[in-house]
Amino acid sequence: MIEQIQQLEQHIFSDLDSVQNAESLEEFRLQHLVKKGTLGQLNDQFRNIPNEQKREAGKTLNVFKNKLMSLFEEKKASLESSDTTEQIDVTLPSRTTYPGSLHPLTHIMDEIIRIFDSMGFAVASGPEVEEDFFNFEMLNFPEDHPARDMQDTFFVKNAADKTVLRTHTSPVQIRVLKNSTPPVRCIVPGRVYRNEALDSTHLAEFHQVEGLYVDKGVTFADLKATLVSFFEQLYEGQKIETRFRPSFFPFTEPSAEMDLRIAGKKDAQWMELCGCGMVHPQVLRNCGIDPEVYSGFAVGFGVERMAMIKYGLTDIRDLYDNNLMFLRQFV
Ligand code: DAH
């Protein structure tokens, strides 16, 4: 029997060595390693040899079996690791690459500018670090006027130093009017700052778009028609309801605030989207424009709030969390 094993060894290991793929490995297994194969036959034979030969033969048989099994496992492992087709799980979801996209505030700003552009409004701008003179004084907020309290001002150094982070985009009305003769039709998109406690509808740094139209014979009806038409275009496809409430701003007379909600939406809340009014005669005078000849309207929109309605947000802070899951919805 020992001789037989030695003969077998001559070719069985080289047979195994030349196996190149999973199928021939399986053939090899069926031919040699199962009960009815070579190993099984050797075991049967072993049982039948005379007892005095069993010791030697058993040793040789075991060494052979162990060697064969370990070479077989080695072969199997090496075939599996080189067989890449079996390792790719085609059912796994692929890694997604996301395209970059504009921030929802950029989207809505672009949209606002586009709509006003179509109505003949140019874009103007002014500094974010502003003088008290433009932010308040020329807008008819005299020093110590209580209306200044409404604005929760950030002072760059202190209240005595007359430099502030602009609390609204209205100072640009002054900068524009001082340097032009009517008709004036412009909007001012920009960032503003308020020393305010943050909550779901308030931020300390946010965006406004100022609108200004000064010409002969401009009336409150022009203001209303312009605003309603603007909102209808901004919320195109959604049915909106608007309402005006009387209000107070030192630089407009009369003054109003406009609220908006999506019509027919369950639990839809009115959201205040802008302050507006007819430019105060004193403001026109401050800028060298005769209020007997000219009149105008002004409006200041809260951009984040307009975005909340447009995108159905309940918390204004979502716009600044930079949560990718949130931002990716606005591709
Ligand atoms: N500047 C005001 C604010 O931020 C908003 C505002 C009200 C702007 C009335 C206007 C206006 O142009 O006419 O509180």
Q: Which two tokens stand for residue 278?
A: 């007819």
Contact 121, 128 (CB under 8 A): no
Q: Does 187 lie in the same domain as 53?
A: no
Ligand 1 pocket, mutate which of 196, 276, 278 (most atoms under 8 A from CB): 276
Q: Does 111 lie in the same domain as 19?
A: no
Please check whether residue 47 lies inside any domain of the structure.
Answer: yes
The confidence score (pLDDT) of residue 234 equals 97
Range 194-219 average pLDDT: 94
Q: Does 200 lie in the same domain as 296?
A: yes
**Residue 223 CA, ligand 1 centroid: distance in Å:** 13
Dmax (CA) of the chain: 133
Range 180-203 average pLDDT: 94
Cis peptide before 254 (omega within 30 of 0): yes
Domain CATH number, residue 219? 3.30.930.10
Please check whether residue 89 lies inside any domain of the structure.
Answer: no
Please check whether residue 93 lies inside any domain of the structure.
Answer: no
Q: Does 29 lie in the same domain as 137?
A: no
Please check whether residue 92 lies inside any domain of the structure.
Answer: no
**Residue 253 CA, ligand 1 centroid: distance in Å:** 12
**What pTM does this model have?**
0.73
Here the contacts of 81-87 (C-beta below 8 Å, separation 24 or greater) are 83/21, 83/22
Residue 6 vs residue 234, higher pLDDT: 234
The confidence score (pLDDT) of residue 148 equals 80
3 state SS of 128:
coil
Ligand 1 pocket, mutate which of 207, 251, 259, 283 (most atoms under 8 A from CB): 251
Q: Does 189 lie in the same domain as 62?
A: no
Centroid of chain to Cα 6: 73
Return the amino acid letter for 174.
I
Q: Domain range for residue 32?
A: 2-82
Q: Does 318 lie in the same domain as 226?
A: yes
Contact 177, 298 (CB under 8 A): no
Q: Does 129 lie in the same domain as 226?
A: yes
Range 190-216 average pLDDT: 94
Q: Which two tokens stand for residue 218?
A: 């401009």
Range 277-295 average pLDDT: 98
Q: Does 54 lie in the same domain as 16?
A: yes
Contact 103, 327 (CB under 8 A): yes
Please check whether residue 289 lies inside any domain of the structure.
Answer: yes
Q: Report the share of the chain in percent with pLDDT over 70.
A: 99
Contact 16, 28 (CB under 8 A): yes
CB-based contacts of 273: which residues, under 8 Å, 6+ apart?
A: 231, 258, 259, 260, 301, 302, 305, 306, 309
Residue 33 vs residue 318, higher pLDDT: 318
State the pLDDT confidence band at 86, using cuts at 50, 70 and 90: low
- Determine how β-strand 240-249 pairs with β-strand 252-262: antiparallel
Return the amino acid letter for 242.
T
Q: Does 255 lie in the same domain as 296?
A: yes
The confidence score (pLDDT) of residue 227 equals 97
3 state SS of 178:
helix
Give 238-285 as a DSSP string. S-EEEEEEEEEETTEEEEEEEEEEETT-TTPPPEEEEEEEEEPHHHHH
The total of structural domains in the chain comes to 2
Q: Single out the residue in 52, 82, 112 at which a domain terminates.
A: 82
Please check whether residue 99 lies inside any domain of the structure.
Answer: no
Q: Does 263 lie in the same domain as 186?
A: yes
Q: Which two tokens stand for residue 174?
A: 């002054």
- Enumerate residues lining ligand 1, CB below 6 A: 168, 170, 210, 249, 252, 255, 275-277, 298-300
Q: Does 173 lie in the same domain as 70?
A: no
Q: Does 132 lie in the same domain as 66?
A: no
Q: E strands of the chain, at which residues?
A: 122-123, 129-131, 163-165, 184-193, 205-215, 240-249, 252-262, 271-279, 295-302
Residue 131 vs residue 3, higher pLDDT: 131
**Residue 238 CA, ligand 1 centroid: distance in Å:** 26
Please check whether residue 321 lies inside any domain of the structure.
Answer: yes
Please check whether residue 74 lies inside any domain of the structure.
Answer: yes
Contact 113, 187 (CB under 8 A): yes
